[in-house]
Structure 1
Amino acid sequence: MASEQMAERAEAAAPAPPRPLDAVDQDILRILQADGRASIRSVAERVHVSRANAYARINRLVEDGVIRGFGARVDHERAGQGTSAYITLKIVQNSWRTVREQLRQLPGAAHIALVGGDFDVLLLVHTPDNRALRELVLTRLQAIPEVLSTRTLLVFEEEDLEPQA
């Protein structure tokens, strides 16, 4: 009986399958990725639908979790975060959720991915300088009990690819 209740709870908590996106939805996504501040009016004009239709579609994309939020693309160097690095981590088997929660708390953590291959986790960080990066790796990361090893790849130059509108 308890396992049936747990299965029912898991099904209730599972997100609904995503609705298919048509060409207009895809165009709206491209426009908003290129300019998250685009007005509903300009989006509607560019995809050739009414403002009400564009508004409803954007709201549906947000409600369905396709659009997770709106934000600014930051030049990290100009923002005082001039050192970037990818850090690979090998972690204790089955500790991903625990490690992920700890990595989210790290200052400058920008991207976390569970991956397959020679390591388990890929972490992108932005720090003010090499000293702060060293502190983050040697003091914070290596203090996480589930982290078995790390390897730091210093980024010499980076460029975010801009979505095509």
Structure 2
Amino acid sequence: MDEVDRSILAVLEKHGRISNAELAARVGLSPSPCLRRVRQLEEAGVIRGYRALIDPAAVGRSLRVFAGVRLMRHTRADVVAFESAVTRLPEVVHSHHITGNFDYLLQVEVADLPAYEDFHANQLASLPGVATVTSYVTMKTLSADPTA
């Protein structure tokens, strides 16, 4: 991977729907070599895909909560059971296995605080192996992404 590839990636991270002609112009290539490089990056797995960024409030998920989850035990079976269950919850948009005070950090998006209370009590806290859940309600999101 060279500087041109890095430039392509930097532009695509911010503008995933940019045309190949515009991408080529921004990175100083003609369209054919630019497209060839993008395809090579895709085939190599460097570019894993493209997606739409959806405004959570527009789809009824205006409350974002980060939940720190601690498991009771850390046996392989307990970890697999928890991970299998948590990945099936549509309210959990990102989940990370982490080090520190928690075993997992989950990004949860729901309509409002009563919806989170219901989700916490009836789904999250009852997942396999959960010992504790500590919730952090997001007041404002700061991001380098101008659409966030």
Q: TM-score range by the shorter chain?
A: 0.7 to 0.9
- Residue 62 of structure 1 is matched in structure 2 by 42
- Residue 140 of structure 1 is matched in structure 2 by 123
Other structure's SS at 1:72 match: coil
- Residue 8 of structure 1 is matched in structure 2 by none
**Rounded Cα–Cα distance in structure 2 between residues aligned with 1:23 and 1:97:** 40
Give the alignment partner of residue 20 of structure 2, picking from 40, 47, 53. 40
Structure 2 length as normaliser, TM-score? 0.87
**Rounded Cα–Cα distance in structure 2 between residues aligned with 1:162 and 1:117:** 28
What are structure 2's unaligned runs of at least 5 residues? none
Q: Considering only aligned residues, what root-mean-square deviation do their CA atoms show, in Å?
A: 1.7
Which stretch of the first structure deviates more once superposed, 90-99 or 32-41? 90-99
- Residue 89 of structure 1 is matched in structure 2 by 69
Other structure's SS at 2:8 match: helix
Structure 1 length as normaliser, TM-score? 0.79
Deviations 1:105-127 (A, max 9, x none): 11221211111101110000110
Q: Tell me which amino acid in the other structure corresponds to 2:142.
A: E
Cα distance change of structure 1 residues 141 and 28 upon mapping to structure 2, 3 Å threshold:
same
What are structure 1's unaligned runs of at least 5 residues? 1-20
**Rounded Cα–Cα distance in structure 2 between residues aligned with 1:101 and 1:71:** 24
- Residue 81 of structure 2 is matched in structure 1 by 98
The answer on whether the counterparts of 2:64 and 2:109 sit within 8 Å (CA) in structure 1 is: yes
**Rounded Cα–Cα distance in structure 1 between residues aligned with 2:136 and 2:144:** 20
> Is residue 156 of structure 1 aligned with residue 139 of structure 2?
yes
**Rounded Cα–Cα distance in structure 1 between residues aligned with 2:116 and 2:8:** 38
Deviations 1:50-96 (A, max 9, x none): 32221122122222222221112222223321111000001231343
- Residue 110 of structure 2 is matched in structure 1 by 127
